[in-house]
Structure 1
Amino acid sequence: MDRKEQKSIIEGLLFVSGDEGIYPEQIAKVLEIEGNEVINILEEMQKECEGAHRGLQIVQYAKVYRFATKKEHASYYQKLIDIPTAASLSQAALETLAIVAYRQPITRTEMEEIRGVKTDKALQTLVSHLLIKEMGRAEGPGRPILYGTTKEFLDTFGLKTLDDLPALSEENEQMNEADLFFGSLQEISK
């Protein structure tokens, strides 16, 4: 294997190792080469990344190597973070999400009985936004899919656990769950 191929593989290993990074010894085992040779290649790659037209650099922290963005581009990364996401949820998706949050695990048919309308599109949207996921299958005819919320749901709405959901009191049971859920979240965020 030539040097270019080694660099290409190391670049991929750095990418898949993510923020955790990778030890030179791990790279050496993968490439079946000596550890000092890996360090030489990494140093060459660091110099190549220092070029003005590269957005990434290879950094070393506590013997671990990883990719990092360049500090001089930080203002551009911040702009990306500050851009509001265009992927807002429809009223139907919000209502369906509230039903799932309070009644999980729940089937699509049960959601449709509560809402009184089809939930196919709303479910697709919520799954694609990683707010709900399939939790298994219910017993009974057809073994329908059970849905529940995800960790991303908790993170998105600033909840530590499902116990942090606004309580449904008896007087509120007749209220639309979406109105109660999102109204209570607005109160929490004030």
Structure 2
Amino acid sequence: MKLTKDEAAIEAILFISGEAVSLKKLSEIIQKDLHTTRNIIENLIARYRDEGRGIQIIEVNNAFQMCTSPQFFELIQSFYQNPKKFNMTQALLETLAIIAYKQPVTKADIEEIRGVRSDHVVNKLIEYNLVCEVGRMEAPGKPILFGTTEEFLRYFGFKNINELPQLQEELLKQLQKEVQNEVKQIGLFDDQEE
């Protein structure tokens, strides 16, 4: 079945972009309203899926991006031989979870929750482009506020930050206490970096 002119236009824009393109921008390009444009994109998404294509269109923060289908990851990996891989240690995952759920958050807040210095892990998450500076707090010293990136959403398969699994506040406090107790039991100092 042949693509419509609007479908082909959206496909071409997403292909050349290499990044997520907002629904608004796509609707302006094809000169259709937002609802019609979203329907066209959703039809393309379904068509790619149903035809088992090697590419797919994903939604990220009310924007759309063309990328490869996950089922071909190993083939793509062998093609590139040195794929970009994240070495996600427990400390990185823990810090990333804190930032994702508490964003925007300062490094001091992260360290208070973790019970250890977090300079190295925050810098590593920035290097992986999973976390970035999102602003500065209006407080003495104007500490940096950190939040997650679109790469974080892509990496974990979320359309937006609202898709994060909901955690109960009590569970977060319990986890914080467990981490602090564990740190105390094994004799780590508060100023130690992990």
Query: Relative contact order, CA 8 A, sep 6+: which one is greater?
Result: 2
TM superposition score normalised by structure 1: 0.50
Larger Rg: 1
Q: TM-score, normalised by structure 2?
A: 0.49
